[in-house]
Amino acid sequence: MTSARICEFNKKFNTNFQIYMPEHRHFQPKKVLEEFDWVFYLHKEHFCLIRRNNKALGIKEIEDNYDENVWRTCGDDSAVTSAAWGKSSNLPMNLRKIEDVNIAKYTKDNWESLGPEWEPYAKRDTLCLGACLIKYNQAMKKTVFQNVSNNLTAPSLSLKGWYYLYHYDKEMVEEEWYESTRMVPKHTEKQNVEKVYSHTHPFIRYSIRQSIKGGRVSANRKSFETNKIDEICAILKEYNESNTEGIIDLFKEYSVNPKDKTEVHAKLKELNYSKLMTFDANGLYASAMTEGEYPKAESARAFLPEEEKEFVKLFNKQKFRPRTAILKVWFEYPKKMFFQPIPAKDKITFTNRVGQKETGTKIRFRNGFCHDVLTSIDIQEIVKSGGKIIKILDGIVYEENFKTPPYRDYILILKELRNKYKKEGDMVASNCMKLLGNSLYGKSIQKDINTSRHLKPTSIHTSKAMKK
């Protein structure tokens, strides 16, 4: 159960569910407080969920309450992995028959009497979360030598992991341990490493953020209307034997339906999908950080107007590389181009979901004239695919690049480990590697925080105490 769901549950039913971690570096009380309704005990590779029973629980009492037939320990990877993903076929026998509950069913008046219905679900939900946390922590320690409890966000975790791998060599050395010895990691600082700096000027940082591409985009090759989605929904309704509306809800029912799907697959294949297309690409964030030309921030300078003709000529002849720049450009795609490498950002008026007219910025693939802030690599890709650069307005030019992209080795390690874990069936660790790669990209171009929050007292008693 995530902290957001715990807060929502507490607010609705006037309860006080909390997660207690005695090993947390910032939170180490000697006993569990009485106001806790449930105790989720997490220590190294063991965890359990215990009801308070109207009395304080000490750590020793919690440990004495371990019962592996009811609560789970995570000593082996298979138990953690199966629990983490919550698959009914892989869960322990005492949890397999627990079904999801409709939280809207429970109110302030009936939640206590209906406890036997939702308590098993709460235990299973917390079990899965605990297994995910443990498995995630194991993968992070092994890969980037970081503990998740020391990092508030995944981007911070990834940045620290990259920093240590980039600046330090790791070797295993022997040290004394009680009456024997053990092998421990030793980190030695690397010599002659190219320092990595970031821009501090707010205008430059804003310009760089404008060049970042990502998110969901739509194709604008040709506008048309089709009833194919209704045909698909009709087939799924017949298979599910339900009156559920909406493709998403229908597909959820379809996915968990145990009936044979051979017949429904055949019916779906009979439909004409020639007008329905979708495109996806994997690993673009990570691959963008391994490009051969990675500029040094300290070598940046402003684009000069007298350079425009030369730069436009070099771009259109695809001879600008290996130089690097971030520029605001006008460019044009051929009118008959099928797939554009860079989407256009347009301020347009469109009809929203409730049928009202709305004006806003849309990211979409389309042909014709476009204007945007792009990196020199993106500009070259436009020309390579058949487009043409018309004009350069302003931007940033870099005089020097790194000899080797600073993030390349780290990204390649993550990619190799992700494929390795995927082959082994360890999806938790595999997804951790993906998260680290994407998070590092986001951390490198994160938005500046220009605001701060202050806590103000709301009662007279608190105000007097603070003044004293």
> Which of the four pLDDT bands, split at 50, 70 and 90, describes residue 218?
low
Q: What is the pLDDT of residue 151?
A: 78
pLDDT tens-digit readout, 291-305 = 778 899 999 999 999
258: left (phi over 0), alpha (psi -120 to 50) or beta: alpha
CA pair distance 72, 55, nearest whole angstrom: 23
In this structure, what is the dihedral angle of CA atoms 116, 70, 91, 97, given to the nearest 10 degrees?
A: -30
Buried b (16+ CB within 10 A) or exposed e, 237-270: bebbeeebeeeeebeeebeeeeeeeeebeeeeee
More confident residue, 447 or 359: 359
With contact defined as beta carbons under 8 Å apart, do 367 and 334 qualify?
Answer: yes
Q: What is the pLDDT of residue 173?
A: 81
More confident residue, 86 or 445: 445
Q: What is the pLDDT of residue 393?
A: 94
With contact defined as beta carbons under 8 Å apart, do 126 and 49 qualify?
Answer: yes
Q: What is the pLDDT of residue 13?
A: 59
Cβ-Cβ contacts under 8 Å for 153 (sequence gap 6 or more): 439
Least confident stretch, 127-141, 183-197, 411-425: 127-141
CA-nearest of 453, 413, 452 to 433 is 413
Q: Does pLDDT of 141 surpass 50?
A: yes
Residues forming a β-bridge with 397: 301, 325
Q: Does pLDDT of 64 surpass 60?
A: no
Average pLDDT of the chain? 73
Q: What is the pLDDT of residue 277?
A: 62
Q: What is the pLDDT of residue 142?
A: 77
Longest dimension (CA), the chain: 79
Cβ-Cβ contacts under 8 Å for 156 (sequence gap 6 or more): 443
pLDDT tens-digit readout, 357-408 = 888 877 777 888 988 999 898 898 899 888 999 999 999 999 999 988 898 8
Q: Does pLDDT of 94 surpass 60?
A: no
Angle subtended at Cα 121 by Cα 117 and Cα 126, rounded to the nearest 5 degrees = 145
Q: What is the pLDDT of residue 150?
A: 76
With contact defined as beta carbons under 8 Å apart, do 136 and 142 qualify?
Answer: no
Q: Which whole number is the average pLDDT over 194-222? A: 74
CA-nearest of 407, 6, 57 to 198 is 407
pLDDT tens-digit readout, 73-91 = 333 334 333 333 334 434 4
In the numeric block, which tokens belong to residue 171?
A: 């070797």
CA distances from 385 to 278, 284, 325, 392, 403 (A): 20, 18, 20, 19, 28
Angle subtended at Cα 52 by Cα 51 and Cα 53, rounded to the nearest 5 degrees = 95
> Which of the four pLDDT bands, split at 50, 70 and 90, describes residue 466?
very low
Share above pLDDT 70 across residues of the chain, in percent, rounded to a whole number:
69
| The pairing of beta strand 57-58 with beta strand 168-177 | unpaired
Share above pLDDT 90 across residues of the chain, in percent, rounded to a whole number:
11
Angle of helix 154-167 relative to helix 115-144, nearest 10 degrees, comes to: 20
206: left (phi over 0), alpha (psi -120 to 50) or beta: alpha
pLDDT tens-digit readout, 281-340 = 666 777 778 877 889 999 999 999 999 999 999 999 999 988 899 999 999 998 877 778
Angle subtended at Cα 130 by Cα 129 and Cα 136, rounded to the nearest 5 degrees = 90
Q: What are phi and psi of 392, to 5 degrees?
A: -115, 125
Q: What is the pLDDT of residue 446?
A: 78
Q: Which whole number is the average pLDDT over 352-357? A: 78
Angle subtended at Cα 467 by Cα 461 and Cα 468, rounded to the nearest 5 degrees = 90
CA-nearest of 464, 389, 54, 382 to 213 is 382
Place of tokens 């983490």: 84
Residues forming a β-bridge with 189: 168
Place of tokens 């684009």: 303
Q: Does pLDDT of 188 surpass 80?
A: yes
CA pair distance 279, 295, nearest whole angstrom: 30
pLDDT tens-digit readout, 15-44 = 666 655 444 434 434 444 445 555 555 544
CA distances from 116 to 11, 17, 105 (A): 20, 17, 14
CA pair distance 350, 381, nearest whole angstrom: 29
Write the burial class of residue 336 (CB in 10 Å: 0-12 exposed, 13-18 middle, 19+ buried). Answer: exposed
Q: Does pLDDT of 72 surpass 60?
A: no
In the numeric block, which tokens belong to residue 372?
A: 């945007």
Long-range contact set of residues 425-433: C-beta below 8 Å, sequence gap at least 24: 425/81, 426/77, 426/81, 427/81, 427/85, 428/80, 428/81, 428/84, 428/85, 428/132, 428/135, 428/136, 428/139, 429/135, 429/138, 429/139, 432/136, 432/139, 432/140, 432/143, 433/139, 433/143
